[in-house]
Structure 1
Amino acid sequence: MITHRMLVTMSLAYLADVDAVSPDDATLYAAPMSHGAGLYAMVHVLRGARHVCPVSGGFDEAEIFELARLHGRAHMFAAPTMVKRLTAHARAGGARCEGLRSVIYAGGPMYLADIIEAVDHFGDIFIQIYGQGECPMAITALPRSDVSDRSHTRWRARLGSVGRAQSVVELRIGDGEGQEVARGQAGEIMVRGDPVMPGYWQNPEASDKAFREGWLLTGDVGVMDNEGYVTLQDRSKDMIISGGSNIYPREVEEVLLTHPSVSEVSVVGRADAEWGEVVVAFVVPRAGALIDEAALDAHCLEQIARFKRPKLYIRVNDLPKNNYGKVLKTELRARLNG
């Protein structure tokens, strides 16, 4: 259930923690309006900004660049895959995307290599937020100053995080019992505050399971550092347990994406009689590149523990995604079990 109070709080949090909006601004609806782009319409109505719906009705890189140039001071909400596509299109054509002032990204993992490349090309236009349907758009924010900063000694760690708690929520990392863990220790991200849902519609059992003593259990595993920056490790349901050790797919994906032959990758677990689960990587190669398993293995062993490296690499032309650009890991698991 989404209440009026949740949406008001979320909209005010945007102005306090994410970005400024004025009547001179324009918001581009290039992502599905059933998700973040539509939710952010409210704050732009509140501030009297312009609203631009692409004629294509979807996400087209050239159209976005042209609309930004035409309207100026453009904002847009985008999934990380959209940011990656914008960067690739701009680099291929030498475009700088004049008029695009702010890109708010969320909705899936933003890999370090991709956001570094995007900032290098476009500059300080990117802001990250983290939320979910149960607390829409309002759990954490990583401001443009942190996204573009390269001077701090821990800038990479900050850039790999989802930022700090937005001003309208309380945030903590909890153990299996919901008790707060020490800083730097992994656990479930828990949130409470006005943007959090009161429960699921006509489903009291699911509502009871979603909360512990007033705290929403997000289902996301994360770590909070001493400055309050939260780094997502993965969805708890996506964690791989192999030989009794926890393996977070995103850590493996981040490493593989730094190999020059890899364009996209998604890591999942496959049931195994000996190990419980083994790591499998679905890899989309860069144009003209070959997938050399030995080279990818060596690359992984340079940066992560041996037990975390994939036992199998599967070359694919593309990864299955929903209309929001999020990789459908359930479909990849189904392929392994099919």
Structure 2
Amino acid sequence: MNLSEWLVRTARRVPAAPALLFGEKVVATYCEFAANAARIGGYLRTRHKIEPGDRVAIFMKNSTTYLELLYGIWFAGGVAVPINAKLHPREAAFIVEDSGSKVVFVAGADTFNSLVSPGCAIHDLETEPAFDAEVEAIAEPEPRAAHDLAWLFYTSGTTGKPKGVMLTNANLHAMTYAYFVDVDEVLSEDAAVYAAPLSHGAGLYNFMHVLRGSRHVVPLSGGFDAAELCELAPRLGNVTMFAAPTMISRWLATARQTGYSGEGLRTIVYGGGPMYLADIEAAVAHFGPCFVQIYGQGECPMTITSLSRVNILDRAHPRWRERLASVGPAQSCVSVRVVASDGADQPPGEIGEIVVSGAPVMKGYWNNPDATAQSIRDGWLWTGDMGTLDEDGFLTLRDRSKDVIISGGTNIYPREVEEALLTHPSVSEVSVIGRPSAEWGEEVVAFIVASSGEAPSSEDLDAHCRSLIAGFKRPKAYVFETALPKNNYGKVLKTELRKRISGE
């Protein structure tokens, strides 16, 4: 089934309901949202000869038009290729070329024109509207099968060129249905605020809110601004949003300064990176019972495990702190295992690689059968993440397999060291990596961002670590920074930190 059918059905059911908002201003009802998407679909089909299965890229920041473009692409039977808006134009051009996109929507094409082959049309929304009013709208969405592609998501490419993750209609249907079962109910009066990029997980969460006829809100800033959210949430009411853990930490710091305590919030789904125990405890204490955690990957979008608000609030369970530090049990439509390198199941508590199978798992990597065969083996997606399962099925992330530090033949998991350091009152942020050592193979290095006030000494931090973790795990060096390098999704770029200590 074509994803845009969900929009059509909602528009027929509640045509006058507010659909797209820019800040607090309604810019389209559901009837108008669906009509604009149908016109964009007609424009793509008529002017650009888009056929079912053709790729259409979007390289722009969040806007209400972004959502109309997505549904317009699907109306025509096309495959959406959302591109991280903060990529360099050359990186974006690689994705456009690799995907074979026939059209790319941009907002400002000056630096982009010379980088894309003539076979791809560049549609600049700064100089022309999203569709031609004279072009006839598509009457009904193009029929699409479950196995047909709908979303081509490119990985971050931290270990080489990014790979195109092929997500089908069936993948996205499963992800959407699992949200209602395992993550949260969605209400018609909800306001889905897109403070995180629409090209990533936040954009994938539009489907649930389209189905329920909720409001879709793009902040005036077009992204994440903590002070703006403190003012916007109480005015909108029933705010639900997806946020990376670093966004929540920054929002909490601003909320404490401004006196905002969570008014207007209903659900904050967090994921996309490690949420440290101390951070979620502080966030719940300040904002209240509005948090749900999910763990997923682009290859299994948003749908591996979830930690419910009930689990997050539970303080009666004897191992509640362990559960709060976990990412919860498997979502309903997947099976999750933790395995050794030979694929054998690890016993409870033993670290191994996380593998997952089920309806949301990608079809494969675009034009890359070798990478597909390496990642999907016997029906199981090997995630590259390391973790442990407890006897109740709760999964705890340790680290990416490539981030594990092997010192003196012993595995050291950076997250454990980071968790220890974050309990120091003078540490605001931390990231731990390994650096080459002639004696040990690798040794632990911690990059520290101090809280306001005087930075702690290395000796102080060393003593703090010794009181919490084994001596061999403690950092052999501390590097103090004013900020940690991050991508636009809030993930710390450990590859950049490794370059810094190697002198590159």
Please indicate the TM-score interval, normalised by the length of the shorter structure: over 0.9
Query: What do residues 108-146 of structure 1 show as CA deviations (whole Å, max 9, x unaligned)?
Result: 110111110000111110000000000000000000111
Equivalence for 1:146: 311
Alpha-carbon distance in 2 for matches of 1:108, 1:184: 21
1:165 is paired with a residue whose SS is coil
CA contact (8 A) 1:178 1:212 kept: no
Q: Percent identity over the alignment? A: 61
Structure 1 residue 163 and structure 2 residue 328: aligned?
A: yes
Aligned-residue offset at 1:64 = 1.2
2:364 is paired with a residue whose SS is coil
Equivalence for 2:9: none
Aligned residue among 191, 202, 208 for 1:26: 191
Structure 1 residue 275 and structure 2 residue 440: aligned?
A: yes
CA contact (8 A) 1:135 1:195 kept: yes
> One-letter code of the match for 1:78?
A
Of 273-282 and 92-101, more deviation after overlay is shown by 92-101
Larger Rg: 2
Superposition misfits of 4+ residues, deviation over 3 angstroms = none
CA contact (8 A) 2:196 2:223 kept: yes
CA contact (8 A) 2:293 2:308 kept: yes
Query: What do residues 20-73 of structure 1 show as CA deviations (whole Å, max 9, x unaligned)?
Result: 001111100000111111000111111111100001111111211222111111
Aligned-residue offset at 1:150 = 1.9
Of 59-68 and 207-216, more deviation after overlay is shown by 59-68
2:365 is paired with a residue whose SS is coil
Query: What do residues 232-254 of structure 1 show as CA deviations (whole Å, max 9, x unaligned)?
Result: 01000000000000000000000
CA contact (8 A) 2:262 2:286 kept: no
Structure 1 residue 231 and structure 2 residue 415: aligned?
A: no
Alpha-carbon distance in 2 for matches of 1:95, 1:327: 27
Aligned residue among 289, 293, 297 for 2:454: 289
Equivalence for 1:61: 226
Question: Mapping of 1:121-200 within 5 angstroms?
Answer: 121-200=286-365
CA contact (8 A) 2:233 2:263 kept: yes
CA contact (8 A) 1:127 1:142 kept: yes
> One-letter code of the match for 2:228?
E
Of 74-83 and 148-157, more deviation after overlay is shown by 148-157
Structure 1 residue 325 and structure 2 residue 477: aligned?
A: no
Equivalence for 2:369: 204
Equivalence for 2:464: 299
Alpha-carbon distance in 2 for matches of 1:289, 1:97: 30
Query: What do residues 301-337 of structure 1 show as CA deviations (whole Å, max 9, x unaligned)?
Result: 1111100000000011000000111100000000011
Aligned residue among 474, 479, 493 for 1:314: 479
Alpha-carbon distance in 2 for matches of 1:190, 1:139: 9
Equivalence for 1:82: 247
Aligned-residue offset at 1:224 = 0.2
CA contact (8 A) 1:174 1:189 kept: yes
When the two structures are aligned, how many residues end up with a matched partner?
A: 338
Structure 1 residue 106 and structure 2 residue 271: aligned?
A: yes
Equivalence for 1:42: 207
Equivalence for 1:261: 426
Aligned-residue offset at 1:183 = 1.5
> One-letter code of the match for 1:99?
G
CA contact (8 A) 1:291 1:315 kept: no
Alpha-carbon distance in 1 for matches of 2:232, 2:168: 33
CA contact (8 A) 1:165 1:171 kept: yes
Of 149-158 and 7-16, more deviation after overlay is shown by 149-158
CA contact (8 A) 1:173 1:186 kept: yes
CA contact (8 A) 2:262 2:288 kept: no
Equivalence for 1:3: 168
> One-letter code of the match for 1:96?
S
Query: What do residues 209-231 of structure 1 show as CA deviations (whole Å, max 9, x unaligned)?
Result: 00221110000000000100000
Aligned-residue offset at 1:291 = 2.4
Query: For structure 2, which runs of at least 5 residues remain unmatched after alignment?
Result: 1-165
Query: What do residues 173-202 of structure 1 show as CA deviations (whole Å, max 9, x unaligned)?
Result: 111111212122111101000000121011
